Amino acid sequence: MSRATRRQEDESYRTWAGAYRPYDILREAAIALLVVLVLVVGLTILFSSPDDSASTIKTWSLGDPVDFVTTASTELDGTSGTGSYGPPYNHNSDGQHIGFIHLAKWLGVSHPINSAQDFVLAPLRSLTGQPALQHAITTYQAAPAKTQSGWTTAYEAALAKAKVTANGSVAVTPGSYGPVPTIMGSLLTFAQGGGLDGALLTSKQFYQTDYTKPLLFMADGGVLANRAVAQHLDGSQWGMMNETGSYPGQTWLWLYTFWYQIKPFSTSDNADILVMAVMGALTLALILIPFIPGIRDIPRRIPIYKLIWREHYRSPPPADA
């Protein structure tokens, strides 16, 4: 079809000079409201909604002390997910990129988190009346970086074979860990008593609405991930579109999660920015369908419209056309 013909045809669709029939738009909206209300109330009565209660640092440290302490040790030496994340939390990596486009790096560190200070040392420094602990922290901070990482690396290796004692603490085989076991033991006790949840939250002011720190700390360990895998919420389980229990989830995210399941996305360090780029392009294409040759012509070529308007095509054309 030539451009002129296309434009001419398109102009002819601007107005409808044919038959009308009576129609009550407000009554139709009222009936629709009633129908959907009945559907929604029906679904509510049949299925309700899910509400799995939140994990806390307390429940995490009581339920899996070894995982808690291992995670805390990686926070201390900066090898945790958050510690090595990069922007927007710190400069310890460049963040994801596509080619030369480093959006995370360009937007910078807007929520600074020093994993050692914020998750371990500062909360412990706030504890009074514990001279042994304070001495251990001072010893750790005074040591050279190489010594510090020697202690934490050895400790993390030992934690792989750690045992949980009767009182909920963590026991490892003797080794050269410096003050790290003392620090970790105190942090574990603090967490199991419930104090660390609060300490991580109210670190800037009294009123809090920002849960970034406790959430990142938990996400660095296994407490959230283990629950997620059990509920099919993990990324590799197409979890983005799922909900806890057997409820339908955000089904409209199916295409977004699909890309993560296939190469090159499934094996890329830059998976997130790659998927966002693909979905950004597809979203733009969706919005601009009227202008995309080929895509905009499919409805004409695959004539589902003939089913939709079959009554119209059956009726004779107006005589005075």
Q: Which of residues 71-90 bind other proteins (CB under 8 A)?
A: 85, 87-88
- Pattern of binders to other proteins over 90-109, x per CB under 8 A? -----xx------xx-xxx-
Helix orientation angle between 180-192 and 65-77, rounded to the nearest 10 degrees: 130
Identify which range of 35-43, 66-74, 129-137, 159-167 contacts other proteins by CB under 8 A. 35-43
Is 293 an interacting residue with respect to other proteins (CB under 8 A)?
A: no
Q: Are 87 and 104 in contact (CB under 8 A)?
A: yes
Is 204 an interacting residue with respect to other proteins (CB under 8 A)?
A: no
Is 175 an interacting residue with respect to other proteins (CB under 8 A)?
A: no
Helix orientation angle between 180-192 and 131-142, rounded to the nearest 10 degrees: 130
Is 112 an interacting residue with respect to other proteins (CB under 8 A)?
A: no
Is 46 an interacting residue with respect to other proteins (CB under 8 A)?
A: yes
Is 278 an interacting residue with respect to other proteins (CB under 8 A)?
A: no
Q: How far apart are CA 201 and CA 215, in angstroms?
A: 10
In sequence order, what are the residues at sequence separation of 6 or more whose Cβ sits closer than 8 angstroms to the Cβ of residue 125?
Answer: 134, 137
| Cβ 297 to other proteins shortest distance, Å | 8
Is 127 an interacting residue with respect to other proteins (CB under 8 A)?
A: no
Q: Among 114, 162, 272, 278, which residue sits at the site for other proteins (rule: CB under 8 A)? A: 272
Identify which range of 47-55, 68-76, 152-160, 191-199 contacts other proteins by CB under 8 A. 47-55
Q: Are 221 and 65 in contact (CB under 8 A)?
A: no
Q: Which of residues 1-20 bind other proteins (CB under 8 A)?
A: 5, 8-20
Is 160 an interacting residue with respect to other proteins (CB under 8 A)?
A: no
Is 146 an interacting residue with respect to other proteins (CB under 8 A)?
A: no
Say if residue 123 is preceded by a cis peptide, omega within 30 of 0. Answer: no
Q: Are 289 and 296 in contact (CB under 8 A)?
A: yes
Minimal CA–CA distance to 213: which of 197, 224, 196, 200?
A: 200
Is 62 an interacting residue with respect to other proteins (CB under 8 A)?
A: no
| Cβ 153 to other proteins shortest distance, Å | 26
Q: Are 76 and 181 in contact (CB under 8 A)?
A: no
Identify which range of 144-152, 159-167, 182-190, 243-251 contacts other proteins by CB under 8 A. 243-251
Is 32 an interacting residue with respect to other proteins (CB under 8 A)?
A: yes
- CA distances, 62 to each of 44, 56, 237 (Å): 35, 10, 28
Is 193 an interacting residue with respect to other proteins (CB under 8 A)?
A: no
Q: How far apart are CA 292 and CA 298, in angstroms?
A: 11
Q: Among residues 183 and 213, whose Cβ is nearest to other proteins?
A: 213
| Encoded tokens for 222 | 């296994």
Three-state secondary structure call for residue 189: helix
Q: Among 168, 175, 193, 299, which residue sits at the site for other proteins (rule: CB under 8 A)? A: 299
In sequence order, what are the residues at sequence separation of 6 or more whose Cβ sits closer than 8 angstroms to the Cβ of residue 284?
Answer: none
